């Protein structure tokens, strides 16, 4: 079972990119194919190389403009040949050189497993942010469990399943694209697992560092519902998130941007609508995260 690793970069983190690539190339079991996607930028010259005698490879591809995370990762999957694809941010790296061996064993023995979501740890304090544990009961990040979504930059995906459901929705640009993919995979009968044994290091950062976070977060949440949910669930889902946002967010400019994005989500095309079956919604409820949360 061949393993590929797709790394997105905007060319401005040279040392970090070196570290990310090195963590993929130094895996003890398996020659990893690394594909680096320059998203609107040239891929910088790397100082790391595959080990002598290794069949590991490094390939680079450049997208002429910043096309967003979903298109960048889709392009990486198109360029790679692995049976399983790891997605890695250029400022992240793998904590354990045996990670690929563990992933290969799981995917080889569990044919209905589509995604493994990694445990993301702060390299300085060792802490895990709550949002990095993709379930409602996130108090124990060392507990593995089935989940209904995953972390886009810290995961392993069965490539055939990824292609079967059409990959990531490129119009999203940023935010909720992995949830869209996860819901479609669940609809095809696949499993998604949060595996606490697979650890990735990533500096402690907040998603709100992006200037358009609130607008894209709201717009894409509306698109997510319009594309994937039966209309009764879509109404409940969006109403629930309006209430949660009003309760959680106290900043006037942030709320203004969020509702601007919400309106964009209602007015602009969301892409192909393929509402999930009610049995999929029931399955998500049994897994502890119904599609209204």
Alpha-helical segments (H) within the chain: 14-25, 69-79, 99-109, 159-164, 177-187, 213-228, 231-248, 252-267, 278-286
Mean pLDDT of all residues in 18-25: 97
The answer to whether the CB of 84 falls within 8 A of the CB of 33 is no
pLDDT of residue 204: 80
Mean pLDDT of all residues in 1-8: 97
Q: Of 158, 34, 182, 163, nearest to 106 (Cα)? A: 158
Read off the pLDDT of residues 224-265 as tens digits, 9 standing for 90 and up.
Answer: 999 999 999 999 999 999 999 999 998 999 999 999 999 999
3 state SS of 200: strand
pLDDT of residue 29: 80
CA–CA distance, 30 with 230 (Å, rounded to integer) = 42
pLDDT of residue 211: 66
Alpha-helical segments (H) within 121-251: 159-164, 177-187, 213-228, 231-248
CA–CA distance, 276 with 229 (Å, rounded to integer) = 6
pLDDT of residue 104: 96
The pLDDT of residue 30 is above 80: no
pLDDT of residue 221: 98
The pLDDT of residue 71 is above 80: yes
pLDDT of residue 208: 58
> 244-279: buried (b, 16+ CB within 10 Å) or exposed (e) per residue?
ebeeeeeeeebeebbbebbebbeeeebeeeebbeee
For 91, counting Cβ atoms within 10 Å of its Cβ (0-12 exposed, 13-18 middle, 19+ buried), the class is middle
What are residue 121's phi and psi, to 5 degrees?
Answer: -120, 145
Q: What is the mean pLDDT of the chain?
A: 94
pLDDT of residue 131: 82
pLDDT of residue 210: 58
For 52, counting Cβ atoms within 10 Å of its Cβ (0-12 exposed, 13-18 middle, 19+ buried), the class is exposed
pLDDT of residue 120: 94
Q: Of 251, 225, 220, nearest to 239 (Cα)? A: 225
Question: What is the model's pTM?
Answer: 0.95
Read off the pLDDT of residues 154-198 as tens digits, 9 standing for 90 and up.
Answer: 999 999 999 999 999 999 999 999 999 999 999 999 999 999 999
CA–CA distance, 162 with 139 (Å, rounded to integer) = 29
Pairing of strands 84-89, 3-9: parallel
Contacts of 230 (CB under 8 A, 6+ apart): 275, 276, 278, 281
Read off the pLDDT of residues 278-291 as tens digits, 9 standing for 90 and up.
Answer: 999 999 999 999 99
Query: In angstroms, what CA-CA distances link 251 with 22, 169, 239, 257, 260?
Result: 41, 29, 20, 10, 14
3 state SS of 55: coil
**Position with higher pLDDT, 71 vs 28:** 71
CATH T-level assignment (fold) for domain 3-205: Spore Coat Polysaccharide Biosynthesis Protein SpsA; Chain A (3.90.550)
Question: Which of 121-135, 183-197, 207-221 shows the highest mean pLDDT?
Answer: 183-197
Q: Which residue(s) pair with 87 in the sheet? A: 6, 155
pLDDT of residue 181: 98
């Amino acid at each position: 079972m061949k393993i590929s690793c797709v790394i997105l970069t905007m060319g401005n983190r040279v040392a970090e990119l070196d570290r990310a690539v090195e963590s993929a190339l130094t895996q003890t079991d398996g020659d990893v194919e690394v594909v680096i996607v320059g998203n609107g930028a040239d891929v910088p010259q790397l100082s790391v190389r595959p080990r002598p005698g290794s069949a590991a490879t490094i390939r680079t591809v450049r997208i002429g403009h910043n096309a967003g995370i979903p298109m960048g990762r889709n392009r990486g999957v198109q360029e790679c040949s692995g049976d399983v694809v790891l997605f890695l941010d250029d400022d992240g790296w793998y904590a354990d050189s045996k990670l690929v061996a563990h992933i290969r064993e799981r995917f080889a023995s569990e044919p209905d497993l589509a995604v493994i979501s990694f445990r993301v740890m702060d390299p300085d304090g060792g802490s895990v942010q709550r949002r990095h544990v993709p379930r409602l009961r996130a108090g124990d990040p060392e507990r593995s469990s089935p989940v209904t979504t995953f972390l886009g930059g810290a995961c392993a995906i069965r490539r055939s399943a990824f292609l079967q459901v059409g990959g990531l929705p490129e119009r999203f640009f940023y935010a909720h694209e992995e949830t869209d993919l996860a819901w479609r995979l669940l609809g095809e009968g696949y499993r998604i697992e949060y595996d606490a044994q697979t650890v990735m290091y990533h500096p402690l950062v907040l998603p709100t560092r992006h200037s358009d976070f609130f607008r894209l977060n709201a717009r894409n949440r509306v698109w997510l519902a319009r594309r994937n949910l039966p209309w009764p669930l879509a109404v409940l889902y969006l109403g629930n998130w309006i209430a949660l946002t009003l309760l959680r967010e106290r900043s006037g400019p942030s709320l203004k941007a969020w509702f601007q994005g919400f309106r964009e989500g209602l007015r602009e095309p969301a892409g192909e609508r393929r509402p999930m079956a009610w049995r999929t919604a029931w399955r998500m409820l049994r897994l502890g995260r119904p599609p209204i949360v």
